[in-house]
C-alpha cells in the first residue's frame, strides 16, 4: 500500500524545510506533493532549493486556501491512501505508523488522528473550546462519536476522497470531508496522535471566522450532502 502525503503550504518559510525532513524520515512507502498556496515570505525560495529526488512541488499563483490546495494535490497523487500534512510542525509525521496500522487492522477507508483521544493536547483555550464544540456539533448532526473532527490527520482511501467532490477552498474543507464521509456511511476510525499547537503570535492562521464557516458547512451538508 502506498501513501500519498499532500502538504498545503502558505508562508511557512521558518518550518517547511524541517517538516519535509521529518516526513522524509518516516519509513513507509510514500510520495509527497507540496502545494505552495501563493506564499510571499520566501517559502518558494526554500522549495526551489530542494533539488531532484525531493517532493513534487506545485505552485498556486495566488492564495486560494487549504481546501483548494488539497484539490490541487489530489490531481498529482497516485497512492492508495491520502494524508494531508500541515507544514507548521504542529503534527508529528512519526504518527503515520499509527494511522496506517489502524487502517490495516480495521480494513478501514478512513482513519483520523485524534489530538484529544490520548489526553490533553498543547493548544490555546480558545482553540480547545472551538475544536470540541465543532466535534460536538458534528456528532449531534450526523450521529457519530468522534473526538476530533477538525484534525488535520485524515487518512482516507484516495478513491473515496476523490468521490467526495470537495468544494471548500478554505479551512471548511475539514468539516466538509467529515460530513460527506458520514453521510455516505463510511466508518471513521480514530487513533491518538501527538500535537503541539501554535499561538496566533507564532503564526496560527485559523480564526473565529473559520469556526463560523465550519458550523455553516456542517449545517448545510446535513441537509444537502
Q: Give the residue extent of every domain in the chain.
A: 3-224
Give pLDDT, residue 177.
98
Provide φ and ψ at 202, rounded to 5°. -90, 0
- 3-state secondary structure at position 136: helix
CA 28 to chain CA centroid, Å, is 18
The CATH number corresponding to 3-224 among 3.90.550.10, 3.40.605.10, 3.40.1190.10, 3.30.470.30 equals 3.90.550.10
State the Cα–Cα distance between residues 190 and 151, nearest whole angstrom. 10
Residue 199 pLDDT level (bands cut at 50, 70, 90): low
How distant is the alpha carbon of residue 162 from its chain centre?
Answer: 15
Query: Is the distance from CB of 4 to CB of 82 less than 8 angstroms?
Result: yes
In this predicted structure, what is the pLDDT of residue 205? 60
Provide the grid cell at 205.
492562521
- Residue 223 corresponds to which cell in the numbers above? 441537509
| Strands in the chain per DSSP E | 3-9, 30-36, 56-59, 81-84, 110-114, 154-157, 188-192
- Taking only the tens place, the pLDDT of each residue in 8-37 is 999 999 999 999 999 999 999 999 999 999
Residue located via cell numbers 468544494 = 167
Q: Is the pLDDT of residue 203 over 60?
A: no
Pure H helices in 26-106 = 43-48, 66-74, 96-106
Amino acid at each position: 500500500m502506498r501513501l500519498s502525503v499532500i502538504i498545503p503550504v502558505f508562508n511557512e518559510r521558518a518550518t517547511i524545510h524541517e517538516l519535509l525532513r521529518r516526513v522524509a524520515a518516516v519509513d513507509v512507502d510514500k510520495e509527497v506533493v507540496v502545494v505552495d498556496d501563493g506564499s510571499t515570505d520566501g517559502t518558494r525560495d526554500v522549495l526551489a532549493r530542494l533539488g531532484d529526488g525531493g517532493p513534487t512541488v506545485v505552485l498556486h499563483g495566488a492564495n486560494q486556501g487549504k481546501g483548494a490546495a488539497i484539490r490541487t494535490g489530489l490531481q498529482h497523487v497516485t497512492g492508495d491512501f491520502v494524508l494531508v500534512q500541515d507544514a507548521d510542525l504542529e503534527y508529528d509525521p512519526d504518527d503515520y505508523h499509527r494511522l496506517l496500522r489502524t487502517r490495516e487492522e480495521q480494513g478501514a477507508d478512513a482513519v483520523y488522528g485524534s489530538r484529544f483521544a490520548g489526553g490533553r493536547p498543547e493548544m490555546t483555550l480558545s482553540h480547545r473550546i472551538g475544536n470540541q464544540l465543532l466535534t460536538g456539533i458534528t456528532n449531534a448532526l450526523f450521529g457519530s462519536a468522534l473526538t476530533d473532527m477538525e484534525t488535520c490527520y485524515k487518512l482516507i482511501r484516495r478513491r473515496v476522497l476523490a468521490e467526495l467532490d470537495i468544494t471548500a477552498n478554505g479551512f471548511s474543507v475539514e468539516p466538509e470531508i467529515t460530513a460527506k464521509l458520514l453521510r455516505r456511511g463510511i466508518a471513521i476510525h480514530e487513533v491518538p496522535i501527538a500535537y503541539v499547537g501554535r499561538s496566533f503570535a507564532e503564526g496560527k492562521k485559523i480564526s473565529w471566522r473559520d469556526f463560523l464557516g465550519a458550523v455553516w458547512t456542517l449545517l448545510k451538508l446535513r441537509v444537502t450532502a
